[in-house]
Amino acid sequence: MADTQAPSPVIMFSVVFGDKLYGVKMYYDAFLFEMVDYMSLYYPDVHKRLAEVPRQNLTFFRLFQPIPDSTVTFDDEHKLVRKVYESDWAQIRNGAVLRHLSLIKYHVCLVVMLPSEKSVRDAYTFSKPLFNCLVTYVDEPNSWSDQALNFNGIIRVDDSDKQAAIIDIERQLAQKRQYKESDGYELELAKRFPDEFAESYVLASEDDTQDASKPNDADTKADLKQPEDNTEQDDADAKADAKEDTSKSDDAGAKGDANASETASTKSDDSKEERSFDFTVEDPREFLAFHNVARCYVDDAKRLRPYSPLSTIAAPFKAAFIHPTLFFNGNRRRKLYYREEVLWNVPLFTSKWMTSAHTTAVYKYSPKNDFDVIAPYGCPLVICKVASTRQVFDLDRMLVEAAAAARLGDFMMKLASTRRFFVIAICLTPNLILQRYIVTKSSADDQVYVAQHDFDLKDRDQALDYLREMYNLVLLADQLARDLDPGKLGMLRHFTYLMQDAPTVP
């Protein structure tokens, strides 16, 4: 009879905790809690993280397919950890014995998670596409630099390599606004600057005005039939939160197919797309805003100095360009919400580059801008920062956050929509150079394109060009808000609920 060798009473295997790999040497009859004590004893960083965490609050997972770790070096540890987090797991009870877990020698077999880290995993499992929309990559938490743009797939384009979608957005933003003759004093004030007025406005014929207004009249009637914040629809959607996991993941793939054909349709249907928008003056106070910028704002701006207080720079800008376009521009503003110095309704997540997006090195934070314009579901459409002495860092952070908002908006769009979602990011510098960025997600991959255009607000022509662009932007942003899918609101709410215990940025 052949000799039978008794199994070794000791096993050596690896455990993933956070974004690192730890080797463990334990007896087969040891409990999981004893394994944690071993890690806390031999690894100071583990001891620090577990110092105030009760063992019963930890969560343990076993890999269905353990991964060999015998050839792991320091350089590829991150790759192995990423592979572990992309594998399939099964949760195991806290009081389990190692002998019963089918561990394999010299393999990565187990994952240990803190309560806050488990919420990250639950959210990632619930909706990978939504998680990937909201996660941002940095060198270190609260560290923003040019490198962060590369980490997040942000490509800044110039005039020579702009995509058709960006060119179309710029064309619509620069569209001349139509007006009808009237006896109002507001129009007479605006016409005191005839050359500048001709650059921004064109007299509309009666037929053009009637045709262009038809689709918007229908939208206005629809608005009167429902509450402003879509409360009833939102509550109905929220009831389906737990059921939407699988279906929404499939939607993301279908959305990619829909976006893939969008660029071609945009080029072929330019005239149809332009026809669907009514760039007609709705409120005579628009002419007052035009006159104020042409006569007052530009002259006052020339007297400001770069070292002026930020409030002195920001307040006249908002009074001249932002408040008139958002608050006195007809009924379309009912789909948009203007806020100042308020945290986003939707949290973002930051992760160190070279770690997996769904590892535990993910921290939650809520961006805050000097002002922003959001859709009813909290999706940002316009964000603005007034530059300070930290201008470079604030700008990079704003662009990274705008890219996340563009991905989220693209995900939230109705599948039937043929419009390209975009976010406008605005940076107002101390010398009153307004940097306007169009931020939109590529239809082919996860990259985000950013196109910049500068307006010198001390120059009358450029200031009026920007005012016209803001009025047109309100129309375009309102239409994007209407094209967001209310059915995905429940998914976003449940995702936010799962992430409520996620660790915050230290």
18 and 153: one domain? Answer: no
CA–CA separation, 88 vs 126, rounded Å?
14
Q: Concatenate the DSSP letters of all residues of 382-447 into one string.
A: EEEEE--TTHHHHHHHHHHHHHHHHHHHHHHB-TT--SPP-EEEEEE-TTSEEEEEEEEE-SSSS-
What's the chain's average pLDDT? Answer: 80
Residue 129 in any domain: the answer is: no
Residue 139 in any domain: the answer is: no
329 and 459: one domain? Answer: yes
- pLDDT confidence of residue 266: 40
State how many domains the chain has. Answer: 2
CA–CA separation, 173 vs 44, rounded Å?
57
Tokens of 312: 């002195």
Q: Does residue 390 register a pLDDT over 80?
A: no
CA–CA separation, 348 vs 134, rounded Å?
5
Residue 204 in any domain: the answer is: yes
Cα 271 → chain centroid: 30
449 and 354: one domain? Answer: yes
- pLDDT confidence of residue 376: 78
Q: Which amino acid, 251?
A: D
- pLDDT confidence of residue 75: 61
Residue 298 in any domain: the answer is: yes
- pLDDT confidence of residue 64: 93
151 and 105: one domain? Answer: no
Q: Write out pLDDT tens, residues 12-49.
A: 999 999 888 999 999 999 999 999 999 999 999 999 98
Residue 133 in any domain: the answer is: no
CA–CA separation, 115 vs 99, rounded Å?
25
Q: Does residue 225 register a pLDDT over 70?
A: no
Rounded to the nearest 5 degrees, what angle is found at the Cα of 371, between the Cα atoms of 186 and 374?
90
Can you tell me whether residue 177 is helix, strand or coil?
A: strand
183 and 91: one domain? Answer: no
For residue 102, what is the domain's CATH number?
Answer: 3.10.20.90
Q: Write out pLDDT tens, residues 308-357.
A: 787 788 899 999 999 999 886 555 556 788 888 888 988 898 887 655 54
104 and 180: one domain? Answer: no
387 and 318: one domain? Answer: yes
Give the highest mean pLDDT range of 5-14, 83-92, 149-158, 170-179. Answer: 170-179
CA–CA separation, 259 vs 269, rounded Å?
15
Domain boundary among 68, 92, 113: 113
Whether residue 165 contacts residue 476, with contact meaning beta carbons closer than 8 Å, is answered with no
Tokens of 49: 């993280």
CA–CA separation, 344 vs 423, rounded Å?
14
Q: Minimal CA–CA distance to 154: which of 441, 358, 419, 408?
A: 441
Long-range contacts: 123-126, Cβ < 8 Å, 24+?
123/495, 123/498, 123/499, 123/502, 124/357, 124/358, 126/245, 126/494, 126/495, 126/498
Show the domain range for 71. 10-113
304 and 408: one domain? Answer: yes
Give percent of the chain with pLDDT exceeding 90.
41
Residue 321 in any domain: the answer is: yes
Tokens of 191: 């016409």
- pLDDT confidence of residue 504: 84
- pLDDT confidence of residue 224: 29
Can you tell me whether residue 475 is helix, strand or coil?
A: helix
Domain boundary among 70, 95, 113: 113
Can you tell me whether residue 14 is helix, strand or coil?
A: strand
349 and 447: one domain? Answer: yes
Residue 3 in any domain: the answer is: no
- pLDDT confidence of residue 111: 94
204 and 314: one domain? Answer: yes
Strands 135-138 and 348-352: parallel
Q: Which amino acid, 372?
A: D
Residue 123 in any domain: the answer is: no
Q: Which amino acid, 414?
A: K
- pLDDT confidence of residue 240: 44
173 and 83: one domain? Answer: no
Residue given tokens 């196109």 in the structure block: 451
CA–CA separation, 10 vs 485, rounded Å?
56
pTM value? 0.77
85 and 178: one domain? Answer: no
